[in-house]
Amino acid sequence: MRRREFLALGGAGLLLPRLAQAADAGGRRFFFLFCEGGWDPSYVMAPLFDAAGVDTEEDAEVGSAGGLEFVDHEDRPTVRAFFEANGDRTVIVNGIEVPSVTHGRCTRFLFTGQGDSGGDDWPTILAARSSEDLLMPHAVISGPAFAETYGSHVVRLGPSGQLVDLLDPPDGLMPRVERQIELPTSEAESAVDAYLRERAETLRGLATDERQAAFHETYGKSLRRASDLREFGLVEGSGSSNDPVMQTYNIALDALQDGLSRCAIATNLGRFSAGWDTHSENIAQSEHFELLFGYLQEIMDEMDSRPGPAGGTLAEETVLVVCSEMGRGPLLNAWGGKDHHPWTSMMIIGGGISGGRTVGAFQNDGRGAAVSWDTGEVDDSGTTIHAADVGASLLALGDVDPAEYVAGTPLPALMD
């Protein structure tokens, strides 16, 4: 999907939410890169060589760069190069609890702080609370999105441009179907759009309660967004990479840079798109991480070279959140893999954070350690880090009061 194909998106139904609520918030951008399947922090983020209850990689050692300690291995030169270039603006958060061992429930914990259905995820809340009137507040390129109250702020693009196909039938969806369908003329489509906008405004005026009025106002706003997005037209995609995965990430960066979105999310599935769920041959984690960090360096290079909407670079104005829904168990199983584990790590990179440090830790059995909230260092009198605490920290970074949405407590050790 090319950049202008992305910008040309419309379709009020796909931009329509359940119900919108508006409020002031800061303008910092967020890009979530989700490593789907469950990664093994002991391959990069958490040097656990002295942990008796954890099986670690052979021939690896503790590396140091940019103020960070990480797991270094000759098979992962890109990891070392990334930390040498970006360690001073990176925070590693270790020992995050996601209290489940199923992918779906862990994913919901990671992004909402709770395992049950309901509630909005961090990027959706941040997008909804932006002080800007954005056309595509939270752009879901691929990956999870949980929206209950703020569904109007989420636009799901599809990992292979499915939304474009639906919105542009002559060039997109139609070549895929055998039966010829006569589509309405552009004049007819314009007349329908005008009728729907007028109808939404009329219904808002006739609403008998606040909820009905809010719904029809939201629907009308979605129609206007669809129309505005179409006006962007079509151009060639931005970024110099020919790699389809990096092109997907550039779509997210385009949305953030052009002021269309405050948040975006995309997935990383590792080498051969095999996913990170290594129940056998856990050594595949090494190849996944080496490939991932190559993409992370490309993303940072892109953000360093792009102007941001607020006048700085996109890197200065954006928080890059790199995460996976769970970790891998501390011990190898009979197939040389590791099973699901309800403790994981995260990397937070970019503006507004205190980089060059690690917050949190793992115990000798692979569980999260208690830490001091102020320093982020191991402290037996402290508490363990829950996904809700990291989410609260991200909301605070976006000038959103986390107490309105989550039971977690922001970590001062993360803040700049």
Position 386 in a domain: yes
**pLDDT surpassing 50 at residue 196:** yes
pLDDT, tens only, 31-75: 999 999 999 999 999 999 999 999 999 999 999 999 999 999 999
Q: Can you tell me which residue has the tokens 């769920």?
A: 277
Do 258 and 13 contact (CB within 8 A), yes or no?
A: no
Do 45 and 362 contact (CB within 8 A), yes or no?
A: no
Q: Which amino acid is at 204?
A: R
Do 374 and 380 contact (CB within 8 A), yes or no?
A: no
pLDDT, tens only, 353-396: 889 999 999 999 999 999 999 999 999 999 999 999 999 999 99
DSSP 2: -
Q: At what angle do helices 210-230 and 186-206 cross, to 10 degrees?
A: 160
Burial 155-188 (b: 16+ CB within 10 A, else e): bbbebebebbbbbbeeebeeeeeeeeeeeeeeee
Give the confidence band of 20 by pLDDT, cuts at 50, 70, 90. Answer: very low
Position 321 in a domain: yes
**pLDDT surpassing 70 at residue 24:** no
How far apart are the C-alpha atoms of 256 and 33, rounded to whole Å?
14
- Domain count of the fold of the chain: 1
Position 409 in a domain: yes
Position 306 in a domain: yes
**pLDDT surpassing 70 at residue 169:** no
**The pLDDT of residue 203:** 80
pLDDT top residue among 144 and 23: 144
**The pLDDT of residue 222:** 64
Q: Which amino acid is at 362?
A: F
How far apart are the C-alpha atoms of 377 and 369, rounded to whole Å?
9
Position 260 in a domain: yes
How far apart are the C-alpha atoms of 59 and 261, rounded to whole Å?
43
Give the confidence band of 96 by pLDDT, cuts at 50, 70, 90. Answer: very high
Least confident of 155-164, 317-326, 330-339, 386-395: 155-164
pLDDT top residue among 217 and 9: 217
pLDDT top residue among 271 and 3: 271
**The pLDDT of residue 8:** 40
pLDDT, tens only, 215-232: 767 666 666 666 655 554
> What CATH number did the domain enclosing 18 receive?
3.40.720.10
The neighbour count for residue 115, using CB atoms within 10 Å, is: 16
With H, G, I as helix, E, B as strand and everything else as coil, classify residue 263: strand
* Mean predicted confidence (pLDDT) in 229-238: 46
With H, G, I as helix, E, B as strand and everything else as coil, classify residue 117: coil
**pLDDT surpassing 90 at residue 195:** no
Domain containing residue 354: 3-170+236-414
**pLDDT surpassing 50 at residue 19:** no
Position 226 in a domain: no
Backbone φ and ψ for 349, nearest 5 degrees, come out as: -130, 135
Residue 268, both tokens: 């990383």
Report the predicted TM-score, pTM, of the whole model to 2 decimal places.
Answer: 0.83
Q: In whole angstroms, how large is the CA radius of gyration of the chain?
A: 22
Position 185 in a domain: no
Give the confidence band of 236 by pLDDT, cuts at 50, 70, 90. Answer: very low
**pLDDT surpassing 60 at residue 286:** yes
pLDDT, tens only, 141-167: 999 999 999 998 999 876 554 555 555
E strands within 159-301? Answer: 263-268
Distances (CA, A) of 376 to 32, 160, 356, 372, 388: 22, 40, 13, 5, 16
pLDDT top residue among 251 and 14: 251
Type and span of the H or E element at 253: helix 244-257
Position 44 in a domain: yes
* Mean predicted confidence (pLDDT) in 292-319: 96
**The pLDDT of residue 214:** 73
**The pLDDT of residue 327:** 98
**The pLDDT of residue 303:** 97
Helices (H) and strands (E) in the chain, counts: 12, 13
Q: At what angle do helices 103-112 and 387-397 cross, to 10 degrees?
A: 40
Burial 199-220 (b: 16+ CB within 10 A, else e): ebeebbeeeeeeeeebbbbbbb
Give the confidence band of 239 by pLDDT, cuts at 50, 70, 90. Answer: low
β-partners of residue 348 are 91, 321
Do 50 and 180 contact (CB within 8 A), yes or no?
A: no
How far apart are the C-alpha atoms of 200 and 215, rounded to whole Å?
9
